[in-house]
C-alpha cells in the first residue's frame, strides 16, 4: 500500500512553487486594486485550492499517461508504471484532491465555486493534447496562467477589472510554454517513435530552443506591458521594474545553459532551479513594488 510520502512524490508536491506565486499575485493585485485588507482565512483557502488543484492535475496527468510513461525509459520508474501506487489508489487520491479543491473554492466565494469545473476540465484535456497538437505546450501554460485570475476573483468575488490578471495570465502562458519546450527535449526520440506531438520532436532541438526563446521574449514583453498598464497600482514602480529586469536575465541564463548543454542534468537545472527563482522573484518584487 502506498504511503503519504509516495503520494507527495507522485504529484511532485514541491513543484507547487511554480503555481503558487502567480495565484498569490492575483490576490495581491486584487487587494491593491480593490482596496481589500489581507484576509488570513482567504489566504489559507486560496493556498488549499491551489495545492489541491495542482495535485488533481498531476494525478490525472499521471493516470492518463501511465501507459506512455511505462514505455519511456526516463519515466518507466514513475509511481503507476512501477507499481508503487496502484491505479485505484491514484484515482482515489485524484478524487479526494478534486473534492478538496471544490470545497475550498466554495468557501472562498460562489463565483469561485461556479468556475471551479473549468480548470478541472483543462486538467483532463491537457494530457490528451500531446497526442494531437503541438499547442499542448501553450495549453499547459494557459492552465497555470488562469491561476492569476483565480487568485484575483477569490478576493474580489467579481469579474471587474480583470485586465490585470488577464495580462499576467498570458505572461505565465508563454513563460511556462517556453520552459516546457525545453523540458520536452529529453524525450525527442521517444516522442518521434510514439508519434507524440512536441515542438522538439517536430522541429528539432535547435529550432525548439529558438521557439522557446521567442516565447520567453514574448513573455518578458507582456510582463513589461503589465508594468505599464498597472503602473498606477505601484507604490514603488522602480522596485517592480528591477524585478522584471532580474526575471529577463534569469530567462536568458536558462537559455544560455541549454544552448551549450542539452543533457538531462542541464535541462533539469534550467527547468526546475531557474524557473523556481523566476516565480519567487516575480512574487517578491510584485509585493515590494505594490506595498513599499
pLDDT for 275 equals 84
pLDDT for 266 equals 73
Retrieve residue 277's grid coordinates: 527563482
pLDDT tens per residue across span 27-36? 999 999 988 9
pLDDT for 229 equals 95
pLDDT for 264 equals 72
Domain count, the chain: 1
pLDDT for 194 equals 87
What is the pTM (predicted TM-score) of this model? 0.93
pLDDT for 102 equals 97
Backbone angles phi, psi at 138, to 5 degrees: -70, -35
pLDDT tens per residue across span 11-25? 877 677 778 999 999
pLDDT tens per residue across span 84-100? 999 999 999 999 999 99
- Domain assignment of residue 68, given as a range: 4-291
Half-sphere exposure of 132 (CA within 13 A, CB side): 6
Q: What is the CATH number of the domain that holds 181?
A: 1.10.357.140
pLDDT for 60 equals 95
Give pLDDT < 50 ranges for the chain. Answer: none
Amino acid at each position: 500500500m502506498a504511503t503519504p510520502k509516495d503520494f507527495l512524490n507522485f504529484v511532485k508536491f514541491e513543484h507547487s512553487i511554480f503555481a503558487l506565486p502567480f495565484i498569490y499575485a492575483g490576490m495581491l493585485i486584487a487587494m491593491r486594486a480593490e482596496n481589500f485588507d489581507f484576509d488570513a482565512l482567504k489566504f489559507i483557502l486560496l493556498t488549499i485550492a491551489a495545492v489541491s488543484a495542482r495535485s488533481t492535475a498531476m494525478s490525472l496527468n499521471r493516470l492518463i499517461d501511465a501507459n506512455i510513461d511505462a514505455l519511456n525509459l526516463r519515466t518507466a520508474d514513475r509511481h503507476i508504471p512501477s507499481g508503487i501506487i496502484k491505479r485505484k489508489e491514484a484515482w482515489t487520491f485524484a478524487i479526494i484532491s478534486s473534492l478538496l479543491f471544490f470545497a475550498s473554492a466554495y468557501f472562498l466565494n460562489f463565483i469561485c465555486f461556479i468556475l471551479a469545473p473549468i480548470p478541472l476540465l483543462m486538467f483532463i484535456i491537457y494530457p490528451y493534447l500531446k497526442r494531437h497538437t503541438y499547442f499542448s505546450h501553450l495549453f499547459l501554460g494557459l492552465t497555470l496562467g488562469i491561476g492569476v485570475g483565480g487568485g484575483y476573483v477569490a478576493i474580489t468575488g467579481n469579474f471587474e477589472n480583470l485586465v490585470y490578471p488577464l495580462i499576467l495570465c498570458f505572461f505565465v502562458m508563454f513563460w511556462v510554454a517556453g520552459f516546457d519546450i525545453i523540458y520536452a527535449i529529453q524525450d525527442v526520440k521517444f516522442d518521434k517513435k510514439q508519434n507524440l506531438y512536441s515542438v522538439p520532436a517536430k522541429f528539432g532541438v535547435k529550432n525548439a530552443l529558438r521557439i522557446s526563446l521567442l516565447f520567453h521574449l514574448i513573455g518578458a514583453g507582456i510582463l513589461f506591458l503589465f508594468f505599464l498598464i498597472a503602473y498606477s497600482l505601484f507604490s514603488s514602480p522602480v522596485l517592480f521594474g528591477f524585478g522584471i529586469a532580474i526575471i529577463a536575465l534569469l530567462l536568458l541564463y536558462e537559455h544560455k545553459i541549454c544552448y551549450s548543454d542539452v543533457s538531462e542534468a542541464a535541462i533539469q537545472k534550467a527547468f526546475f532551479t531557474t524557473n523556481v527563482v523566476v516565480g519567487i522573484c516575480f512574487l517578491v518584487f510584485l509585493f515590494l513594488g505594490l506595498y513599499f
